[in-house]
Structure 1
Amino acid sequence: MQSLSATLLLGFTLACSLFSSGVMTQTLDSTFDQFATIYQQELGTTQGCDEPRLLEFAVCSSALRNDGNAPYILHHGKPTAKVIVLFHGLSDSPFFLRSIAEAFHAEGHNVVVALLPGHGLVDADADMQDPELANRWRKRVSEISELATSLGDNKYIGGFSTGGALATEYVLMHPAEYKGLLLFSGALRLDPTVETLANVWGMRWVAKLMDGDYQTDGRNPVKYPKVSTYAALQLVDVISSVREKIEQKVGLNIPIFVAHSQADLTTMIQGVQDLMAYNQGRNHFFEIPLNKNVCHADLVISESQLQDMHYDMNNLAEVEPCSVPQANPLHTAMLAAAISYLKEY
């Protein structure tokens, strides 16, 4: 009888465990369905990825250059105490946030890495000339923010370059929604010449002429060969929006983590410094010295990520500074600082 009782008890416990697991999976399945629907509507079709990964839900598509450009959710099969939402930069893809996302996931957090409209595509010409592109980016940030609520109790938002600018703008508009902001090479200030030209009448028409038939295929399978001039002007609109909100004294009292290189000539370090000076919350600044020569896009790249990128080095002519991807020599220390920040808040 004792043996039968023990067997029945074990069976009951297992059934409860499976039921609980099933309910939790169904909860995440609904979130995964929402995530897939967002991209089905944009890409037209989605499909299984060539190499599915454990504890990852990715949305692959024939409309994307390859699976490395796909958006993904790194999860733990259930909602976690903290969920981090990340957005990539202009002309690149969710791949660039892979090492950061995996580090946060290893700490027990669910992580969402979105794909911004116009990116990762086989054909991006129409998107990169869309006057509503910046608003489409903003809509994506809003959609993913809403979706992330079901993945964790406390939400954190951030991004690389343009993704950081969009995350900052969203936080300024919804200060109570997120517990923290993480910026990696945050694009909050560009070269003064670029910002000035963005406000010149007729410049957007000129930008479309300069871009011509926008090409997406190049040496880097997870990044377009060049930044669309027209899309860059759309980024200036986002940066201007951030500045306007700061000038209007829109309140910001949130812990911020910033990683930026003094050698960054694409996004000026003064932009993130101005944001931190305005913020009433605590700032955590991982500043990479000038002598490390870390270029803008290289800040988020680890050694293993550089290998996985499969950048085509064949028949390279004279190489201009920052034109070929390199790993950030302080990448490990940067991640440790970001993880420490998340533990504190």
Structure 2
Amino acid sequence: MLKWSVVIALVGGITLLAVRAFDAQRGPDLELWHTFVPHELSAAELDKADWKQFLAAEAQAFAEVRSEVTDKLGPEARIESNRYDANSPIYPGKFATDWNRSYVMQPEGKPVGAVVLLHGLTDSPYSLRHIARRYQEAGFVAVAARMPGHGTVPGGLTTVEWEQWTAATRLSVREAQRLVGPGAPLHVIGFSNGGALAMKYALEALGDKSLARPDRIVLIAPMIGITAMARFAGVMGWPALLPRFAKAAWLGLVPEFNPFKYNSFPVNGARQSSLVANRLQQEINAAVADGKMAQIAPVQTFQSVVDFTVSTRAIVDALYVNLPANGSELVLFDVNRNTKIGALMRANTDTVVTRLLPAAPRKFRATIITNESPRHAEVVERVTEAGATTEQVRPLGLLYPRQVFSLSHLALTFPMNDSLYGLQPDEPEEYGVNLGSMATRGERGTLIVSLDSLSRMSANPFFPYLIERIAEGFKGKGEGKAEGK
């Protein structure tokens, strides 16, 4: 019986890989930006490097992209919708600031603290610039590193290793500490995969005295948990070991029309992200077992209750139930219960919040941003303090846009007036395209991308609330807990 089970499993696996190889062949051809891999510092090199050396290596990587991709494009690739065409309006090299690159924002006068900002997978430092500026205004120095494999060409993610990301995180903290000096508050903020890196760094610092411990951790849609499918992401790329099936190394080959984020997605990127999440879970469990979790800084997390990219449930079950009673808070953005397309929403969205949170009392503060009632677009803040069972309600003076049925993974870090992703951009031509306010009504097959990718919510109507709540932690060292108003 065992013999036949093994045979069936092998046949099934071979069949799956064959189907995967065949399916990949039907997609678009690989382009220069998929096949070229710029040089990046290894994890060992990053751990020895300082910020100046890091920036020099980064500049070299971008120079390689210019010479090996941009300057070698064929006529068919020299089009307005290609971010790698130097004549395209979305070519990042022509902007006043290329937000694909690492940056430091210095405040006026002596810094009162430092913040390290870690972006997500396929993303760039652009995604956290609004939060970085708010910290700068408050007197903090903000350090945002471009994670290896990002910002240049999607091909950079085909060979990157997660250890490079963790090493880049440590380097960023070293630079932040150098700029601010000893004794000043240190905050670490991570978005998506960057959230996993932020939490992982904080746990590493508990057991390594050479690493500065953060006084506050802010996570935005963090990749804490992984799905069963994600664990086997690397298998999807096995057919690519044969040159004929090179396209199988990609989960998606999409035109690169976004100046600050990859659209194409290699298998290795998904695999490395899943390895980070898996290692993080091991470290959380170890910290709980040996009692070190009691020393972790307060964690404040902002998360949409519906998220196609990360597991919202894992944030609760894998992280928050393991946190000590240290002033941590989970902020959940509910779906729009006033939307006029409610009849088209899945039935389980009605109870999504109650299914996510464990019963009160809890060790953490739970905040829900939701409609005042299903008849109102106005939203309120519903807060259950740590250790309490009663809920406090506060109007926010904000509205859920009627045409929006929920937030998305991509939306949380961008205000509605963001030039690239905002629904009401202040400067819609600043980056050559505005992806948030596009009217996507028309005939199918006309656009170079699917309507699904453009209909996903890209900005946060509650960003003023998010930034206000983050700013409450500017008071000083260790004051990560947000007080109710």
Give the TM-score range, shorter chain: 0.7 to 0.9
Equivalent residues of 1:286, 1:334 under 8 A apart = no
Answering whether residue 100 of structure 2 is matched by residue 69 of structure 1, we say: yes
Aligned to 1:99: 130
Aligned to 2:113: 82
Between the two structures, name the one with larger relative contact order (CA 8 Å, sep ≥ 6).
1
Checking the alignment, whether the CA contact within 8 Å between 2:410 and 2:459 is kept in structure 1 is no
Question: Any unmatched runs of 5+ in structure 1?
Answer: 1-32, 48-61
* CA shift digits 1:201-224 (9 cap, x unpaired): x44535774245997962211111
* Larger mean Cα displacement after TM superposition, 310-319 or 79-88: 310-319
* Structure 1 residue aligned with 2:230: 194
Conserved 8 A contact 1:171-1:177? yes
1:241/1:79 CA distance change after superposition, 3 Å: farther
Contact 1:190 1:266 in 2 (8 A): no
The one-character-per-residue Cα deviations of 1:52-97 (angstroms, maximum 9, x if unpaired) are xxxxxxxxxx9x9441212111112554222110010111111111
Aligned equivalent of 2:310, options 267, 270, 280: 267
2:412 alignment counterpart: 299
Distance 1:156 1:192 in 2: 32
Q: Aligned to 1:320, what secondary structure does the other structure show?
A: helix
Q: Do the aligned partners of residues 295 and 191 (structure 1) sit closer, same or farther apart at CA in structure 2, a change above 3 Å counting?
A: farther
Residue matched to 1:319: 451
Matches within 5 A, 1:106-145: 106-121=137-152, 123-125=153-155, 127-130=156-159, 132-145=160-173
Q: Which residue of 2 aligns with 1:44?
A: 60
* Matched-pair contact (CA < 8 Å) for 2:407–2:457: no
Residues 238-258 of structure 1 deviation map (CA, whole Å, 9 limit, x = unaligned): 101111012223522211110
Paired with 2:416 and 2:177, the residues of 1 have a C-alpha distance of 33
- Work out whether residues 261 and 288 of structure 1, in 8 Å CA contact, stay in contact via their aligned partners in 2: yes
Q: CA RMSD in A?
A: 2.9
Cα 1:204–1:249 change in 2 (3 A) is: farther
Q: Structure 2 counterpart of 1:205, which letter?
A: W
Corresponding position: 1:35 with 2:33: no
Aligned residue in 1 for 2:268: 230
Q: Structure 1 residues 138, 213: CA separation in 2 closer, same or farther (over 3 Å shift)?
A: same
Query: Which residue of structure 1 lines up, in the alignment, with residue 330 of structure 2?
Result: 285
Give the distance between the partners of 1:300 and 1:232, measured in 2 at CA: 21
How far apart, CA to CA, are the structure 2 residues paired with 1:323 and 1:113? 29
SS at 2:451 equivalent: coil
Aligned-residue identity in percent: 23
Matched, 1:174 2:205: yes
Q: Quick check: 1:100–1:335 contact (8 Å CA) kept in 2?
A: yes
Q: Rg bigger for which structure?
A: 2
1:342 counterpart = 2:385: no
Instruction: Check if 1:329 corresponds to 2:442.
Output: no
Q: Distance in 2 between matches of 1:226 and 1:311?
A: 19
CA distance in 2, matches of 1:159, 1:104: 14
Runs of 4+ with >4 A deviation:
206-209, 212-217, 312-315, 321-325
Corresponding pairs, count: 292
| Distance across 1 between alignment mates of 2:52 and 2:455 | 34
Q: Distance in 2 between matches of 1:324 and 1:103?
A: 26
Structure-1 separation of matches of 2:53 and 2:474: 30
**Secondary structure in 1 aligned to 2:213?**
coil
- For residues 201 and 282 of structure 2, the distance between their equivalents in structure 1, rounded to whole angstroms, comes to 13
Distance in 1 of aligned mates of 2:145 and 2:202: 17
Contact 2:251 2:266 in 1 (8 A): no
Secondary structure, aligned partner of 1:297: coil
CA distance in 1, matches of 2:147, 2:455: 23
Q: Which residue of 2 aligns with 1:255?
A: 298
Amino acid at match of 2:323: N
Partner Cα separation in structure 2 for residue 295 and residue 145 of structure 1: 29
